[in-house]
Structure 1
Amino acid sequence: MTAATAAGVSAEATPSVRASWRPLPRRRTVRPPRAVLAIRAPLPPAARITLAALSVLLPLAVWLVLGATGAVDPRYLPAPDKVWHAGLDMAASGQLWTDLWATLQRILYGFGLAVLVSVPLGIAMGSFNAANALLEPLSGLLRYLPAAAFTPLLLIWLGIGENPKIALIFLGTVFFNMLMTADVVRLVPRDFIDVAYTLGARRGEVLRKIIVPHSLPGMLDAVRVNFAAAWNLVVVAELVNSETGLGKRILLAQRFTQTDKIFAILVVIALVGVATDVLLRLARNRIGRWV
């Protein structure tokens, strides 16, 4: 230590200097926040149920108040009871079930084909750098193209039947599901793969027994997310030259300003989507218990 440094230290330690220092601010004891406000803290079951109920009941209460007071013209926002009766009328006539089944078939074919194609390619992209280098640039480019913009081309290429509708759902979901699957596969710890090779596992065994089981819950989550996109696309697809389907029924109701029917169909779509999402969550929790 130099003489100048020693002098500086001794000067700082003198009583006159210490007397000029301000006292440190006193901080009160911080209490841990409640579970509802804590970051990533587990919620008690009662709080979880209450919050879930409020997320549905509050918008419904606002809708009821607006419908009862007439604050909004019923042509634009029909009351919940009008929507309920419109849904019952469509269900009693069989029209609702016919349209719902036609829409579900298109989603099952289009999105099912997208899953069959995207999952193996996503596993390959996440597992092999060569596959990722080959597929990622093209898929990254195509996923930015709006699927609805392909509708004129699909009508020219595939005609005006069911094929362009199924192809539209396929194009709108296959690239997103492939990239999300690849991201899930990349999260498999490298240590698991190295240990498997050390124990004598072959490449195919590593894929079947390490990578796929560890990635399966995440792949189901990707399917859940993209299934909602399939619903958005099927409504767009059914607006063009369809005889049946929920999207077609919405278009017909719009022509005659039947907003109660439009709302009823939207409620049906929401209920079917939520039911499917719950089933996929249960399947993920059941299948991926080891993760």
Structure 2
Amino acid sequence: MSAPPAPAPPARPPRTDGVPADGSVRVGVDDRFHRAPSRPAGLQRVTQVAGRAIGPLFVLALWWVASAQAWVSPILLPAPGTVWAAAVDLVSSGKLQDNLGVSLGRAMTGLGIGLVVGVTLALLTGLSKVAELLVDSNVQMVRSMPILALQPLVIVWFGIGEPTKILLVALAVTFPVYINTHAAIRAVDARFVELATTRGLGRLALVRHVVLPGALPGFLTGLRFATSISWLVLVVAEQINATAGIGYLMTQARTVARTDVIIVGLVVYALLGLLSDTIVRLVQRKALSWSSTLQAR
């Protein structure tokens, strides 16, 4: 005689937590957890630019209020309107454009020399243990010296002409490029080097296809530091018996107590630094588009 059939299990009440009634879990992401569609690239770019402008606009507003309320003497800090009038006068007379062109030439020349020297030294010390022993300690010692403290020695060696100004900028640029590029070269994954060696790549091909792409993020970071440092050093370098340049314009204004012209020069330097950093960041974003990194939200 066969056993009676087992009773059917009671029906489960429907669940409200999104899990099927049979207890199974679907593989994937529930529709409720889908990310919201991202904003258009153009709108996001405009938002970023507007957000970065908030800080300078706040400083400008505070400056305007301080001048309007006479919290500070106009001799020490002229009003924004006075500085703007001085800038318009310099532009209309052509003085600002002429001196700006001279400063750009010095900065770009010094930056180019510093980049070549810094990358070359980084490749030597990063790829050769002997070169690191011979070069790195010397670079570190010179890097520890204040660049502007070398100014008297550079004047004795090269005089007070253009080479001195360009050399000071080149020295200042070399060290951040060297440090960051050298560290990036040493951080290249050894497995990539072994794979390239296994595939029969020679020394030059290894550097071109493995070392340089791996060191690119470090180089671009050093380039960001270098561009800002080049303008900082140029401010002082252009006050060494210069006959043109933004620094020379500021020095001439100091002799006649034209604080408004001095502030115009400082603003020009600040804008140049911001512009150069923005350009490097754009290059960094394009060159490292393959890299997946954490983005601030």
> Quick one: which amino acid aligns to residue 283 of structure 1?
V
Q: Deviations over 1:66-94 (max 9, x none)?
A: 11111111111111111111111111111
In the other structure, the counterpart of 2:255 is: 255
5 Å-filtered alignment, 1:81-230, equals 81-230=81-230
State the partner residue of 2:64.
64
Q: Deviations over 1:143-169 (max 9, x none)?
A: 111222222222222122211111111
- How far apart in 2 are the matches of 1:184 and 1:161? 36
Alignment check: 8 A CA contact 2:119 2:177 kept: yes
> Which whole-Å CA distance do the structure 2 matches of 1:46 and 1:245 have between them?
34
**3-state secondary structure, aligned to 1:143:** helix
What's the RMSD between the two structures over aligned residues?
1.9
Q: Distance in 1 between matches of 2:173 and 2:50?
A: 34
Measured after TM superposition, the shift of residue 204 of structure 1 is: 1.7
State the TM-score, normalizing by the size of structure 1.
0.80
Q: Which AA in structure 2 matches 1:254?
A: R
- One-letter amino acid of the counterpart of residue 141, structure 2: L
CA contact (8 A) 2:176 2:225 kept: no
CA distance in 2, matches of 1:282, 1:175: 23
Q: Give distance in 2, aligned partners of 1:231 and 1:272.
A: 8
Code of the aligned partner of 2:208: R
Q: Which amino acid aligns with 1:178?
A: Y
Gaps of 5+ in 1: 1-43
On the 8 A contact 2:183/2:218 being kept in 1, the answer is no
Distance 2:218 2:84 in 1: 37
User: Partner amino acid for 1:286?
Assistant: K
Asked if 2 retains the 8 angstrom alpha-carbon contact of 1:143 and 1:176, the reply is no
| Displacement after TM superposition at 1:215 (Å) | 1.7
The 8 Å contact of residues 146 and 172 in structure 1, kept in 2 or not, is answered as no
* d(CA) in 1 for partners of 2:147, 2:49: 38
* Kept after mapping to 2: 8 A contact 1:122/1:181: yes
User: Equivalent residue of 2:170, what SS?
Assistant: helix
